Structure 1
């Protein structure tokens, strides 16, 4: 099986699924053994540069040299450094690279011939409609498509003996608002309107037409407008906008054809164009072209709106479910259930295992991924829950079953720190609902919120442990007796479980300090604490009650278990010449006595043992 990598950046909140659809359609038409791996981010949407760094890190995930061909959709990568970085990697990967709608020396260009249709439009405007004053209403100055369209515009001005001073070029974005701003600036400046605005795309053209109406102008009565791309807003706008038709699915199909010729060793042109057609309509003074079916269009819009509403409702429901979760496992279960309701064939979550620990000092990689710590958190395929012991096992599964399928990889990150990534199989819903960023950001924000909450909980627990720990011995202190042992006693009493309270005192500790010094005395106390804790049964606690006094506590106690505990402790310490006295008291399950009353009885039992030892030593003397 051959593998193709598609490197892409979303346009604002949207993902361009047309490339993917065209590529997969062509692979299946030809019945080729090929899989598509798309690595997509939204690195141009946020105003937070560190967030965008985390988005772009998905480009570091693939080993590009492991692919048979690579397609770069780089027209939306606005970060110059990121653009140069990925281009350099592609130039050095040793794999044939195709660039979509963006010419890069050394790569094969696949897309529209942006110059030819602009020349055709300009000729039509000049010769048919008598236009003599032009404005090019452009998109981003450094965007390749805009650059090519500007170049063709300049060629035509030169051909007709016109200058840029009289026929200016405007630079902005590719959106509707850019057209609105162009028109508004012309009105406010008092400049004479041109005969025609030649727009870099239909969004800009629609914005100019709509804003013109706000100021009492009408297109084409007062001036003409042309667009590019043949979006819905061109064919169905009022006035119907003259535009240029280019089929993006055909660009995807052409990519497959070009790669197949390369793999077969056949000659391939450096620039490979899809057919484009100028479509003349009302905005340039031509009649409605009649190439529209308004009822069918409305039907499709209604169906699409219903599907979008359904998808949005599912996302709102997911957000509410995740907000009630107490852990990551539960969150991932809800997310996987959510994706099973969408029109896709599978999804997998790969995350850094440090996510689950949520230690307060956790840092995730900024460049690349910590492959040693990556795990498959959850996933499904074809409505069947799937589990993988390792990421390597998941990767082998994708390769074994990937033929004629498309896999979308998107980043999971907390600002610039990369936590993992999501893999989606055949996300067909993206064609009708391209706003994948909304899903992507909802999931990532929920995971980040959960992570920070767990970090705070862990930090609070750590502080509580420090607060409850004796700094000398490391075991619980007297505060812990109140905060931990008392509540534990109450819980076991309520359940009718008998417990043991053990009171321990070091014998003649003052003389030990006086004879050997306080540092030696400290070591004695540390050793007593160690032995008491090491021998303490499960679910039990040991704390330093004060000075040379210690308390032991454990549930499910019997007289035999308590005696065994005290015997083991005294035996070990006696061998080290450390003498202690121990008193034990068993709680009465269901009784009304308080823990302090039981502790007082244990203390009395310890004192009796100490007195008996003193009497014994006197008799020996």
Structure 2
């Protein structure tokens, strides 16, 4: 069967508005076996542009051309740049699109709820029925189309009723709950007289504004009226209950998905669909025209919320504690899997950029076009109790494993640290991300743990490099004196315990000063490197060698034959001759070699053996000098 696949782009999942729209979309999708993939971020949460860039990276992952159609909840984005970027990308794909609350794109199908008329009706009620003359307005971001419609409706109602709009009494927020508290704080600091009413662009801001006013000693609605917009659970059950606006959000989501599905099936659909909202008059304006929820039902729902929240907090505490003790990526993935098992989902995929451990530098000049790597890796795929992984898959595929059935609801959330993109995770057929108020905290915990593993990986690499620099000679790329002593001392002790036969050879380069003085230090370094190569080639697998000083080298060998010193000297001299023939320099590579073989016993030391080999090497060096003098005579 040919299943339809649609993408939904949304900002935020833990707000009641998004929740109800998503529930409507999912209901229609399940009824028609449509695969829905949500691409979601939580921009603006920590007021950091760099952090937002990391969040918004998920929208660059969305390969719209891989879907049959898309739903754009553009009204959930307060940043017009991000909204425009997403619209441009989906437009380029050429797939059918239904957009929420925006008539700016005539090529798209639009579904909207009449914000303007119902907000105007609410403001007029406050003015005409409650005789309000001085009104403060707490607005959402005007770049958001819904916020703009509500603001315009407020202004129109004020003007039509002959009330002057005082710009100082308008606070521009971002629809976030603490914007209501900030609005009251700014009002108090202004020293202005208390207004007759605070009209708020949504319930979240209205509830915190009312709470802040009551903390200051003002009573709602006796001293001042407060209204909201959305008719959320908290608004309905607050004390006083909030005068607000009820919108058919579930129906909007269901209808949007239905319109897109019909378009994909070749059925003609209206370009614009508008749903009606209604004013809900309640206690916060002095009108109690609605029946409060049944007390038993309210208590049941409230207890369920508290129980779910406590359960989620416990889960996050265990996740945080478990991740704090991990030192490797595998340990981290094990802890994440243990928590995923409790999320009540069918499938969880942890997808990381193929270079997530490799890239250490931070580019501070990241644009919103930040891209995922061409290939991704999925080190953790959990599905119905079974775990597996996929080494590589193209990021354009998005899913590490292609969908083979219909009716799957998938949520994609970004994993990042600051603006650095680490990857994303996918939860399939589970509602944790939309019902839990702590899903964002879960995402941050996973992101931070992966970043910590990444940093630990680079710290270990740096420590390995420091250790290498401590024990390796940079010119010859063999052990230096420190490295030799560390390595050979352990070998020597074991050989003493086991009474093994060992050989220690000391090598001193002949004529290095002559080469440096006559041909330069670069040639001297070249000669030292070639000698080091010869010494390495002469070593067996039971030997280690090192540059012991400027022109001094050393070899330590275990389990040697009685005549190994003779064999080594023969190989060494042959390799010297071959090297001189290959490099064809105006000087000759030459070195003096002294070797000592001993059957080790208690009391023998590495240093005493080095001294014996060094003395023997110098005896040979003296004999060479005497021989050269005799030749000259």
Q: Would you call these one fold, judging by a TM-score over 0.5?
A: yes
**Counterparts in 2 of 1:565 and 1:455: CA distance versus 1, 3 Å:** farther
Cα offset, 1:471, TM superposition: 4.2
Please state if 1:459 is matched with 2:462.
yes
**Contact map agreement 1:13 1:435 (CA 8 A) in 2:** no
Q: Distance in 1 between matches of 2:499 and 2:439?
A: 55
TM-score normalised to the size of structure 1? 0.85
**Counterparts in 2 of 1:284 and 1:330: CA distance versus 1, 3 Å:** same
In structure 2, the residue matched to 1:51 is 51
Q: Distance in 1 between matches of 2:438 and 2:225?
A: 33
**Counterparts in 2 of 1:13 and 1:568: CA distance versus 1, 3 Å:** farther
Q: Distance in 1 between matches of 2:133 and 2:513?
A: 111
In structure 1, the residue matched to 2:436 is 433
Q: Distance in 1 between matches of 2:538 and 2:413?
A: 51
In structure 2, the residue matched to 1:207 is 208
In structure 2, the residue matched to 1:448 is 451
**Contact map agreement 1:240 1:288 (CA 8 A) in 2:** no
Q: Distance in 2 between matches of 1:132 and 1:395?
A: 55
**Counterparts in 2 of 1:209 and 1:360: CA distance versus 1, 3 Å:** closer
**Counterparts in 2 of 1:463 and 1:267: CA distance versus 1, 3 Å:** same
In structure 2, the residue matched to 1:559 is 561
**Contact map agreement 2:13 2:434 (CA 8 A) in 1:** no
Q: Distance in 2 between matches of 1:347 and 1:461?
A: 35
Return 365-374 or 63-72, whichever deviates more: 365-374
Return 140-149 or 533-542, whichever deviates more: 533-542
1:379 to 372, 378, 381: 381
**Counterparts in 2 of 1:275 and 1:560: CA distance versus 1, 3 Å:** farther
Question: Deviation per CA, 1:485-530, whole angstroms, max 9, x where unpaired?
Answer: 2564378569969695542425744697499856655434312212
In structure 1, the residue matched to 2:7 is 5
**Counterparts in 2 of 1:586 and 1:532: CA distance versus 1, 3 Å:** farther
**Counterparts in 2 of 1:201 and 1:357: CA distance versus 1, 3 Å:** closer
Q: Distance in 2 between matches of 1:95 and 1:269?
A: 17
What is the 5 A alignment of 1:594-613?
A: 594-603=605-614
What is the 5 A alignment of 1:415-430?
A: 415-430=418-433
**Counterparts in 2 of 1:254 and 1:465: CA distance versus 1, 3 Å:** same
Q: Distance in 1 between matches of 2:543 and 2:10?
A: 57
Question: Deviation per CA, 1:524-543, whole angstroms, max 9, x where unpaired?
Answer: 43122123335545586421
Cα offset, 1:14, TM superposition: 9.8
In structure 1, the residue matched to 2:90 is 90
Cα offset, 1:292, TM superposition: 0.4
Q: Distance in 2 between matches of 1:449 and 1:547?
A: 42
What is the 5 A alignment of 1:152-191?
A: 152-164=153-165, 170-183=171-184
Cα offset, 1:448, TM superposition: 2.2
Q: Secondary structure at the match of 1:46?
A: coil
**Contact map agreement 1:13 1:437 (CA 8 A) in 2:** no
What is the 5 A alignment of 1:331-480?
A: 331-357=332-358, 367-369=369-371, 371-372=373-374, 374-392=376-394, 398-401=401-404, 403-480=406-483
In structure 1, the residue matched to 2:586 is none
Question: Deviation per CA, 1:111-159, whole angstroms, max 9, x where unpaired?
Answer: 4221232244345446655556654443333322222122333444455
Cα offset, 1:259, TM superposition: 0.3
**Counterparts in 2 of 1:608 and 1:81: CA distance versus 1, 3 Å:** same
In structure 2, the residue matched to 1:72 is 72
In structure 2, the residue matched to 1:220 is 221
Q: Distance in 2 between matches of 1:517 and 1:149?
A: 85
Q: Secondary structure at the match of 1:422?
A: strand
Q: Secondary structure at the match of 2:454?
A: helix
**Counterparts in 2 of 1:415 and 1:536: CA distance versus 1, 3 Å:** farther
In structure 2, the residue matched to 1:38 is 38
**Contact map agreement 2:497 2:602 (CA 8 A) in 1:** no
What are the ranges of 5 or more consecutive residues in structure 2 without an aligned counterpart?
Answer: 581-588
Q: Secondary structure at the match of 1:6?
A: strand
What is the 5 A alignment of 1:317-332?
A: 317-332=318-333
Cα offset, 1:232, TM superposition: 1.9
Question: What value does the CA root-mean-square deviation take over the aligned residues?
Answer: 4.1
Cα offset, 1:439, TM superposition: 1.4
Question: Deviation per CA, 1:300-346, whole angstroms, max 9, x where unpaired?
Answer: 22233223222222222222222222222221222222222222222
Q: Distance in 2 between matches of 1:514 and 1:79?
A: 67
Q: Distance in 2 between matches of 1:495 and 1:23?
A: 76
Q: Distance in 1 between matches of 2:36 and 2:526?
A: 66
Q: Secondary structure at the match of 1:228?
A: coil
Q: Distance in 2 between matches of 1:36 and 1:497?
A: 73
Q: Secondary structure at the match of 1:8?
A: strand
**Counterparts in 2 of 1:603 and 1:298: CA distance versus 1, 3 Å:** farther
What is the 5 A alignment of 1:104-115?
A: 104-106=104-106, 107-115=108-116
**Counterparts in 2 of 1:354 and 1:489: CA distance versus 1, 3 Å:** farther
Cα offset, 1:289, TM superposition: 2.0
Return 223-232 or 378-387, whichever deviates more: 223-232
**Contact map agreement 1:558 1:586 (CA 8 A) in 2:** no
**Counterparts in 2 of 1:298 and 1:605: CA distance versus 1, 3 Å:** farther
Q: Distance in 2 between matches of 1:338 and 1:397?
A: 21
**Contact map agreement 1:559 1:586 (CA 8 A) in 2:** no
Q: Distance in 2 between matches of 1:334 and 1:495?
A: 45
**Counterparts in 2 of 1:493 and 1:202: CA distance versus 1, 3 Å:** farther
In structure 2, the residue matched to 1:503 is 505
Please state if 1:63 is matched with 2:94.
no
Please state if 1:542 is matched with 2:545.
yes
TM-score normalised to the size of structure 2? 0.83
In structure 2, the residue matched to 1:229 is 230
Question: Deviation per CA, 1:43-97, whole angstroms, max 9, x where unpaired?
Answer: 3123332222222222111222222212222334333433332232233331222
Return 245-254 or 169-178, whichever deviates more: 169-178
**Counterparts in 2 of 1:510 and 1:203: CA distance versus 1, 3 Å:** closer
**Contact map agreement 2:114 2:277 (CA 8 A) in 1:** yes
1:583 to 595, 600, 604: 595
Q: Distance in 2 between matches of 1:364 and 1:592?
A: 64
In structure 2, the residue matched to 1:27 is 29
**Counterparts in 2 of 1:54 and 1:308: CA distance versus 1, 3 Å:** same
In structure 1, the residue matched to 2:100 is 100
Q: Distance in 1 between matches of 2:27 and 2:542?
A: 62
Cα offset, 1:5, TM superposition: 1.6
Q: Distance in 2 between matches of 1:2 and 1:457?
A: 47
**Contact map agreement 1:239 1:282 (CA 8 A) in 2:** yes
2:534 to 531, 536, 539: 531
Cα offset, 1:385, TM superposition: 0.3
Q: Distance in 1 between matches of 2:78 and 2:492?
A: 63
